Structure 1
Amino acid sequence: MTTTNATHSHTHEHGKGCSHNHSHEHSHGNLPIVLYGVGLVFYFIALLFIQNEFIENSLYVLAILTAGYHVIVEGISETITDTINQKKFLPNVHILMTLAAAGASAIGDFDEGALLILIFAGAHFLEEYAEGKSKREITKLLKLNPTEARLIQSDGQTKLVDVSTLKIGDELKVLPGDQIPTDGIILSGGTAVDESSITGESMPKEKQLMDEVFGSTMNGTGTFTMRVTKDSKDTVFSKIVEMVSQAQSNMSKTATKIKQLEPIYVTVVLIIVPLFILLAPSVFGWSWQVSIYRGMVLLISASPCALAASAVPATLSGISNLAKRGVLFKGGSYLSNLATIKAVAFDKTGTLTEGKPSVTDTYFVDETQKAEWINLIVHMEKESNHPLANAILEAFDQTDDLELAVTNEIGKGLVTVYKGAHYRLGKIENTEALSETVQEKNIAWMKEGKTVVCLTKDNELVGMIALMDVPNQAAAGVIEYLRSQGIQTTMITGDAKVTGEAVAKRLQIDSVKANVLPENKSMIISDLQKTTGPTVMLGDGINDAPALVQADIGFAMGDGTDIAIDIADAVIMKNDLTKFKYAHQVSKKLATVVWQNIFFSMFIVVLLVVLNILGKMDIGLGVLAHEGSTLLVILNGLRLLLPVRER
Structure 2
Amino acid sequence: MELEQANSTVTTKPSSYSSFLEKIVLHRQLVMSLAGGGFLLAGFLAEFGEGSLWGVAAVIFYVLSYGVGGFYKAKEGLDDLIQDRSLNVEVLMILAALGAASIGYWNEGAILIFIFSLSGAMETYTWQKSEKDLSALVKMAPLEANRVTDTEELELVSVDELQIGDRIMIRSGERVPADGVVTRGTTSIDESTITGESVPVNKDIDDDVFNGTMNERGSIVVEVTKENANSLFQKMIRLVEQAKSNRPPTQQFIEKVEGPYVITVLILVALMLVVPPFVFGAPFQETFYQAMVLLVVASPCAVVASVMPALLAAISNGARRGVLMKGGTYLEQLSKAQAIAFDKTGTITKGEPTVTDFHIFHENDRNQILANAVSIERQSNHPLAKAIVAFGDKEKVNGAEMIQSSEDITGYGVKAQINEETWMIGNFEMMSQFQSNPSIDHTLEEKWQGEGKTVVYISRNNEVAAMLAIKDEIREEAKELIADLHKLGMKTIMITGDHEATAKSIAVEAGLDDWISHCLPEQKVSEIERLREKYGSVVMVGDGVNDAPAMAKADIGIAMGSGTDVAIDTADIVLMKSELKKINSSFKLSSRLNRIVKQNLVFSVSVILLLIAANFAQQLSLPLGVIGHEGSTILVILNGLRLLK
TM-score by length of 2: 0.57
Q: Say yes or no: does 1:559 pair with 2:562.
A: yes
Q: Does the 8 A contact of 2:498 with 2:519 survive in 1?
A: yes
Aligned mates of 2:115, 2:544 — CA distance in 1: 49
Shift of 1:480: 3.1
1:590 deviates by: 1.4
Which of residues 236, 256, 265 in structure 2 aligns to 1:269? 265
Alignment of 1:103-502 (within 5 A): 103=99, 107-108=105-106, 109-117=109-117, 119-120=119-120, 123=123, 256-281=252-277, 286-358=282-354, 406-408=398-400, 443-451=446-454, 466-502=469-505
Question: Aligned pair 1:45/2:35, yes or no?
Answer: yes
Q: CA RMSD in A?
A: 4.9
Question: How far has the Cα of 1:577 moved from its partner?
Answer: 1.5
Matching residue's letter, 2:112: E
String of CA shifts for 1:307-332, please: whole Å, max 9, x gaps.
Answer: 12212232222222222222122222
> Is 1:60 aligned with 2:63?
no
Match for 1:505 among 503, 508, 512? 508
| Counterpart check, 1:617 vs 2:607 | no
Of 544, 547, 551, the match for 2:547: 544
Aligned letter for 2:347? Answer: T
Q: CA deviation at 1:440?
A: 6.0
Partner of 1:372 in structure 2? none
Q: Which residue of 2 aligns with 1:227?
A: none
> SS where residue 532 of structure 2 aligns?
helix
- Measure, in 1, the Cα distance between the counterparts of 2:120 and 2:549: 38
Residues 324 and 482 of structure 1: is their aligned pair in 2 closer, same or farther, counting only changes over 3 Å?
same
> d(CA) in 2 for partners of 1:252 and 1:314?
12
Q: Deviations over 1:6-46 (max 9, x none)?
A: xxxxxxxxxxxxxxxxxxxxxxxxxxxx9996544332223
Which letter maps to 2:490? Answer: I
1:199 match: none
8 Å contact 2:481–2:580 — kept in the other structure? yes
Please state how far the C-alpha of 1:595 moved relative to its aligned partner: 0.9
Aligned-residue offset at 1:100: 4.9
How many residues align? The count is: 442
What is the distance in 2 between the residues matched to 1:506 and 1:102? Answer: 71
Structure-2 separation of matches of 1:354 and 1:616? 67
Q: Identity across aligned pairs (percent)?
A: 39
Task: Tell me the alpha carbon deviations over residues 165-211 of structure 1, each in whole angstroms, 9 at most, x when there is no partner.
Answer: xxxxxxxxxxxxxxxxxxxxxxxxxxxxxxxxxxxxxxxxxxxxxxx
2:78 maps to what in 1? 72
User: Is the contact between residue 313 and residue 643 of structure 2 (CA under 8 Å) also seen in structure 1?
Assistant: yes
SS of aligned partner of 1:554: strand
Residues 583-630 of structure 1: CA deviation (Å, up to 9, x unaligned): 111111211111111111111112212222223221222222222222
C-alpha displacement of 1:293:
1.0
Q: What aligned pairs does 1:22-37 form with structure 2 within 5 A after superposition?
A: none
Deviation (angstroms), 1:289: 0.9
- Tell me if structure 1 keeps the 8 A contact 2:498–2:518: yes
- Tell me how far 1:99 sits from its aligned partner: 4.2
Q: Deviations over 1:86-109 (max 9, x none)?
A: xxxxx5556545545655665531
Q: CA deviation at 1:300?
A: 0.7
Q: Is the partner of 1:345 in helix, strand or coil?
A: strand
Equivalence map 1:509-520=2 (5 Å): 509-520=512-523
Question: Unaligned stretches of 5+ in structure 2?
Answer: 1-23, 44-57, 136-245, 360-366, 379-383, 404-413, 415-425, 432-437, 458-466
Deviations, residues 75-94 of structure 1 (Å, cap 9, x unaligned): 454446xxxxxxxxxx5556
Q: Answer whether contact 2:371 2:400 (CA < 8 A) is retained.
A: no
Q: Does 2:638 align with 1:635? A: yes
The equivalences for 1:579-598 within 5 A come to 579-598=582-601
SS of 1:300's partner is: helix
Change (3 A) 1:288 1:395: farther
Q: Scaled by the length of structure 1, what TM-score is found?
A: 0.57
Cα gap change, 1:492 to 1:442, in 2 (>3 Å):
closer
The alignment partner of 1:621 has SS state of helix
Residues 545 and 564 in structure 1, CA contact (< 8 A), matched pair in contact too? yes
Q: Which has the higher helix share?
A: 2
After the TM superposition, which of the residue ranges 63-72 and 469-478 deviates more from structure 2?
63-72
Return the alpha-carbon distance in structure 2 between the equivalents of residues 276 and 358 of structure 1.
79
1:474 aligned counterpart, secondary structure: helix
Instruction: Name the CA distance, whole Å, in 1 between partners of 2:97 and 2:547.
Output: 50
Alpha carbons of 1:598 and 1:100: their partners in 2 closer, same or farther (altered >3 Å)? farther
Q: Offset of 1:340 from its aligned partner? A: 1.5
Secondary structure of residue in 1 paired with 2:70? helix
SS at 2:470's partner residue? strand
Deviations 1:394-448 (A, max 9, x none): 99999xxx9x77444799xxxxxxxxxxxxxx9999x9999xxxx8665322244
Q: Closer, same or farther in 2 for the Cα pair 1:254/1:528, shift >3 Å? A: farther
